[in-house]
């Protein structure tokens, strides 16, 4: 795991200043405290910060072949590199190191850009093809790692984090109103957008190439899941999935430094620990909790799992004061606003783990793969609702609309009857309907249906999922959009803030491609979620663990802390005449959301949380001069609510 960056003047081929690349790399020191390296030759410059995991002595980057014709900087891990190395040696390639990076170098020489399809792992990488003067940037198939980039007047600058790119921009980049609309609708900013204009992030499974004075973005991962024929039995799928889990675990434990596990009290991470024990003993495990005074306390559950499987266990116990003090730092680490309570426990459990290890595994993935969220129940059985005649659905929709709060039900009865497949999925994932989000914006700030930009981003996926059923298609999108751009994004940023590599065994290529071929009955059966996954778990885990409810590091506790902390301060933040969000949003529309929430007419806590996170992000990331510049039009100022005379926690508006 590392940090990469670079620059290529593909337009005029002007020479790159090494100092510019070094300046970008300095912003990534936390990602790679062990080593640094540079390759600057003519119009291209590559920079690298290393966190040494495999081949500690020989894995220095940038790395090239003997002739210097292919250069690579690479962030991530390639879990099948021993097999690929054997294949390449059979073609006559000679290796000088034990590093997985060298497999990419020789793989590109042998197979060209198709080497990407042969890699089983997580990566954000850059390949410089010197003879062709071609630069290739690529992100792994499920988006575990990130690549940010900007293009300006024939020059591309790229990095593993947004701060590396903005270090090379002339002038402070502005907030992208369309990306803001997407954030408010989905609680994260989907690829290829970022919250900043002029800065992009590669979508999972895509690449961008630069040569002959131009650039081209394309999708390199075009997996099309087709149902197994003949259909598989329950027993066959259980056995085959079990073997896939074992093989994936063995691959994900490849390391020349100690490996640990982020352990919750549930089945997903519990199964990982049991599988780890097939390859060793006394693994370090780490969990985070909030004390026995909370209903969602899971420290005891995690400790019980650790004791059953003989791990060396460590705990982190958070309190509300620590939460409030740390939130500004966490928002800064994320670089882009993400309105998820999970960011707080993730930050602290990674901080603790790094005291002992450089690598941890995490149990992320099964909820998206096997249908573990409430929305999956709606999608699984929504077809029955959609096929009801409208005269029967209409009074139910009307009755649901009159319910106080219950926003999930209201969105569901509307979304699941939408005829267009992508739009149906879009509505299921939306926090608010598009028209409600659009109404928050100042006149002229965005065009109509700005939130539909995500449909364009998903458009090339629709043909690839035409062999899936309704639930399978929805999960196909989740694995390529919501999971990487929300959960995996904050996991990467918050772990690497502590120089910690996080691996995701359940997102092994073989596992995902197998599960995506399974019909919905293996995932949600008779209302039981993650059905086939739990069948495998029964072979490894005792009933006491299998019966535990899903908690996910007890983020409900963080939700309650947030609500309590901003119960008064939220009103101040949203009503403050100095709130920076009102450069983009209408104060009257925002306060209407707050009034609806206070009166219990609607449950708007998700969108209100998003607004406060956005305000905190603005105050941290906008430079002071940008915060003070260009006053808003008088009409906007006059429409603002007046600030309330209440004290508020410093983290809400801390700059």
pLDDT computed for residue 409 by the predictor? 59
pLDDT, one tens digit per residue, over 617-647 is 998 887 655 555 444 433 333 333 333 333 3
DSSP letter for 487, please.
Answer: I
- How big is the CA angle at 484 (ends 610 and 182), to the nearest 5 degrees? 35
Domain range 234-370+481-546, CATH architecture: 3-Layer(aba) Sandwich (3.40)
Distances from the Cα of 84 to the Cα of 111, 286, 593, angstroms: 12, 33, 55
Convert the pLDDT of each residue in 204-250 to its tens digit: 999 999 999 999 999 999 999 999 999 999 999 999 999 999 999 99
pLDDT of residue 473: 97
What's the residue count for the chain? 655
pLDDT band at residue 385 using 50, 70 and 90 as cut-offs: low
Nearest to 156 by CA among 39, 46, 1, 50: 46
pLDDT tens, position by position, 130-187: 999 999 999 999 999 999 999 999 999 999 999 999 999 988 889 999 999 999 999 9
The CATH code of the domain at 2-219 is 3.60.20.10
Contact 305, 545 (CB under 8 A): yes
The pair phi, psi for residue 92, each rounded to 5°, is 100, 5
Distance CA 568, CA 414 (A): 33
Half-sphere exposure of 238 (CA within 13 A, CB side): 12
Q: What are the φ/ψ torsions at residue 486 (nearest 5 degrees)?
A: -115, -75
pLDDT at 209: 98
Residue range 16-43, pLDDT digits in tens: 999 999 999 999 999 999 999 999 999 9
Q: Which two tokens stand for residue 14?
A: 């002007």
Domain edges within the chain = 2-219, 234-370+481-546, 374-478, 555-653
Q: Is the pLDDT of residue 14 over 90?
A: yes
Question: What is the layout of strands, in order, in the sheet containing 63-64?
Answer: 63-64, 70-78, 121-129, 134-139, 206-211, 214-219
pLDDT tens track for 91-129: 999 999 999 999 999 999 999 999 999 999 999 999 999
Q: Which strands sit side by side in the sheet containing 200-201, from one edge to the other? A: 35-41, 44-50, 2-8, 155-159, 148-152, 200-201
Whole-angstrom Cα distance, residue 505 to residue 363? 7
What pLDDT score was predicted for residue 187?
A: 92
């Amino acid at each position: 795991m590392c940090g990469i960056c670079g620059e290529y003047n593909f337009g005029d081929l002007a020479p790159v200043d090494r100092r510019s690349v070094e300046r970008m790399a300095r912003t990534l020191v936390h990602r790679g405290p062990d080593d640094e390296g540079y390759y600057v030759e003519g119009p291209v410059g590559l920079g690298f910060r290393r966190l040494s995991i495999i081949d500690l002595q020989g894995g220095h980057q940038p790395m090239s072949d003997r002739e210097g014709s292919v250069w690579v900087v690479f962030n991530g891990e390639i879990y099948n590199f021993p097999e690929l190395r054997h294949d390449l040696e059979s073609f006559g390639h000679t290796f000088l190191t034990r590093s997985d990076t060298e497999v990419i170098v020789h793989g590109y020489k042998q197979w060209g850009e198709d080497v990407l399809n042969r890699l089983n792992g997580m990566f954000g990488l850059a390949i410089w093809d010197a003879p062709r003067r071609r630069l290739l940037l690529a992100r792994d198939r499920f988006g575990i790692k990130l690549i940010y980039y900007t293009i300006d007047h024939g020059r591309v600058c790229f990095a593993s984090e947004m701060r590396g790119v903005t270090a090379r921009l002339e002038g402070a980049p502005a907030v992208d109103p369309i990306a803001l609309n997407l954030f408010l609708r989905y609680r994260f900013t989907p690829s290829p957008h970022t919250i900043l204009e002029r800065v992009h992030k590669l979508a999972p499974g895509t690449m961008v190439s630069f040569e002959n004075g131009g650039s081209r973005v394309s999708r390199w991962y075009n997996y099309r899941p087709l149902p197994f024929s003949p259909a598989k039995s329950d027993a066959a799928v259980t056995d085959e999935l079990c073997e896939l889990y074992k093989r994936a675990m063995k691959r994900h434990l490849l390391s020349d430094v100690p490996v640990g596990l982020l352990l919750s009290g549930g089945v997903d991470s519990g199964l990982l620990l049991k599988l780890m024990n097939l390859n060793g003993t006394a693994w370090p495990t780490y969990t985070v909790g909030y004390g026995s005074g909370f209903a969602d306390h899971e420290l005891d559950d995690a400790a019980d799992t650790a004791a059953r499987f003989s791990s060396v266990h460590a705990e982190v116990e958070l309190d509300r004061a620590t939460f409030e003090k740390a939130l500004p730092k966490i928002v800064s680490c994320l670089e882009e606003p993400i309105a998820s309570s999970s960011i707080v426990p993730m930050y602290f459990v990674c901080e603790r783990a790094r005291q002992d290890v450089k690598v941890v595994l995490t149990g992320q993935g099964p909820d998206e793969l096997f249908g573990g969220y409430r929305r999956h129940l709606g999608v699984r059985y929504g077809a029955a609702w959609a096929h009801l005649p409208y005269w029967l659905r209409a009074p139910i929709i009307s009755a649901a609309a009159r319910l106080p709060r219950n926003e999930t039900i209201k969105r569901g009865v509307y979304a699941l009857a939408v005829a267009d497949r992508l739009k149906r999925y879009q509505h299921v994932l939306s926090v608010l309907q598009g028209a409600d989000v659009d109404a928050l914006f100042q006149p002229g700030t965005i065009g109509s249906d700005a939130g539909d930009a995500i449909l364009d981003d998903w458009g090339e996926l629709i043909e690839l999922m035409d062999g899936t059923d309704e639930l399978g298609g929805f999960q196909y999108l989740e694995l390529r959009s919501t999971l990487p751009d929300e959960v995996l994004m904050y996991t990467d940023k918050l772990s690497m803030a502590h120089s910690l590599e996080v691996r995701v065994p359940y997102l092994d290529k073989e596992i995902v491609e197998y599960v995506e071929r399974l019909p919905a009955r293996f995932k949600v059966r008779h209302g039981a979620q993650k059905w086939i996954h739990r069948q495998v778990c029964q072979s490894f885990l005792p009933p006491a663990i299998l019966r535990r409810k899903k908690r996910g590091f007890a983020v409900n506790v963080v939700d309650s802390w947030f609500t309590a902390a901003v119960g008064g301060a939220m009103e101040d933040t949203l009503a403050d005449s100095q709130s920076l969000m009102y450069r983009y949003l209408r104060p009257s529309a925002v306060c209407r959301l707050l009034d609806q929430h206070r009166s219990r007419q609607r449950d708007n806590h998700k969108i209100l949380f998003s607004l406060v996170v956005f305000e905190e992000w603005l105050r941290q990331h906008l430079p002071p001069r940008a915060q003070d510049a260009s006053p808003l039009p008088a009409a906007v100022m006059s429409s603002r609510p007046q600030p309330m005379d209440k004290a508020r926690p410093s983290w809400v508006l801390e700059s």
